[in-house]
Amino acid sequence: MSRKQLKAFFRPLALMGSAVALCGTSNVHAQVSQPWPPEVAPDMTVEPGPGWPPRVVEISRALPGKPFKEGFVDVDGFHVRYVEAGKGPVIVSFPGSGGLEMSTAKDMLAKDHRVIEINPPGWGPDPVLKGERDMRDMATVFVHVLDKLKVDRFHLVATSMGCNHAMFAAIQFPERVLSLTLEGGECFTRPQDRRAQTPRAVEAQRAATEGKGFNSDYSIWAGWPAFQWSENKWWQTPSYQARLMQRRYVNNFPYTRNAHRNDMLAGAKTLTMPAIQMVGDRDEIMKVSVAQAWKEQMPQSKFAIVAGGTHDLQNSQPEQFVEIMKACSLDPSPSKLMCPGD
C-alpha cells in the first residue's frame, strides 16, 4: 500500500493526528512483509513503557478495514458517522474513547456477519461538539441509528469507555440485544484496578478540563497509558498513541458517564443475554484484577484474561478475541472461561 493510499485509508476512519504520525514521522513501511526499523522514542517527552522499541520484525498483517464503507445518519439532532461491512446476522460495535477504529477482528467477523460500528458524535474523527452529553441518553441515540439502518436485534460489542454505552443500551433495550461482548470494559473498574498515571498524564487531563490541547506539541498527552507495542498492531507507535490520547482527553470530557452509575449497577444484574468481558494481560490501562469487580457487579457474565493482549484486543490478539466471542456470545455454550478464583 502506497503512502497516498495509507492517507486515504486513515482520513475517514482514524484520527487525523494519528494519520500524520503514521505517514509523516515514523519509519514504518506499510507493505506486507516489509521489514520495519522501529522509530526511537523522541527524548523523554514520550514515555514509551515496556516493549519499545521492539525488535525489527517482518510485517505480515495488512492494515485492517478494507471491507468497510462509511456512512452517516441524521437522528435526534446528531449527524452520526458509522462504518459497515458484510452480510448476515448483525454485530453492532460501540468503540472506545478514541472513536472509530478499524480492527483485524472486525474484518474477520464481517466474513459471516453484517458488522456496523457507530461513532459517538464528537469522538475520533468528528469535530469537537459543545455541551455535555449523557452516555445513557447517547446509547438511545445509537439504537435510533440502528432503527434507520433497519436493524432490529443484534449482537453488541463494545470497547473500553464504549462499554458504558453498551451497558445502557442492553439495560434499556434488552429485547433487542442478543449478546454482549465487552473488551477492556470501563464499567466497573475500581481505583485499584487502574494502572498508575504519570505526572505528565495528570497534567494532560488538567489541560483538557480547561479546553486546551489542540496545538502542535502533542507530547504532553503522552505517558499514560504506558505504551505497549504489539506486533499485530504494528502501526501504533508512541507518537501515534500520544496523538490519540490528545484527541481522547479533549473530546471525551463533555461525555457524562457516571450520572446514572447506580442505575447501571442495578440494571447489570438483571441482564440475561450471554455476556463475556475480556481483558488482556498486557492491558496498558487496567489490571487483570478488574475480573473481581466484574464478578461482583455482573456475576452472570463470563470473564476471560487474554494472554498477550493489550487494551486493543481486536488488533493485538484478534484470533483469540473472535474465538472467545463466538464461543461465549455468538454461539454460547458451556464454557471453561471462568473468573479467577472460580
pLDDT at 22: 27
DSSP type of residue 106:
H
Nearest Cα residue to 130 out of 27, 244, 250:
250
Asked whether the predicted pLDDT for residue 116 surpasses 50, the reply is: yes
pLDDT digits (tens, 9 = 90+) for 69-101: 999 999 999 999 999 999 999 999 999 988 889
pLDDT at residue 40 in the model: 43
Tell me what pLDDT residue 104 has: 96
Distance, CA of 270 to CA of 267 (rounded, Å): 5
Round the average pLDDT of the chain to a whole number and report it. 78
Higher pLDDT among residues 7 and 171, named by residue: 171
Listed in sequence order, the DSSP H helices in the chain are 3-13, 16-20, 104-109, 135-148, 162-172, 199-209, 238-252, 261-268, 290-297, 313-316, 318-325
Number of Cβ within 10 Å of residue 323's Cβ equals 14
Out of 88-97, 125-134, 156-165, 277-286, least confident range: 125-134
Is 158:165 a contact under the CB 8 Å cutoff? yes
Q: Which three cell numbers stand for residue 49?
A: 513503557
pLDDT band at 3 (very low <50, low <70, confident <90, very high): very low
- Predicted TM-score (pTM) of the model is 0.81
Quote the pLDDT of residue 236.
79
**340: pLDDT strictly greater than 60:** no
Q: Which whole number is the average pLDDT over 7-14?
A: 35
Which of 55-59, 112-116, 324-328 has the largest mean confidence? 112-116
Return all residues near 150 (Cβ < 8 A) that are at least 6 apart. Answer: none
Phi/psi for 177 (5° steps) reads: -90, 115
Q: Is the confidence at residue 190, as pLDDT, over 70?
A: yes
Is the pLDDT reported for residue 188 higher than 60? Answer: yes
pLDDT in tens, 221-280: 555 566 677 888 887 777 677 777 767 766 666 677 677 888 999 999 999 999 999 999
Cell numbers 461513532 correspond to what residue?
119
Percentage helix, strand, coil, to 5, in the chain? Answer: 35, 15, 45
Mean pLDDT of 216-221: 54
Provide the pLDDT for residue 122: 85
Classify residue 135 by burial, with Cβ atoms within 10 Å: 0-12, 13-18, 19+.
buried
Q: What is the pLDDT of residue 15?
A: 29
Decide if pLDDT at 8 tops 70.
Answer: no
| For range 293-303, the mean pLDDT | 91
| pLDDT score for 128 | 76
Amino acid (one-letter) located at 327: A
Confidence of residue 309 (pLDDT cuts 50, 70, 90): very high
- Work out the average pLDDT over 101-128: 92
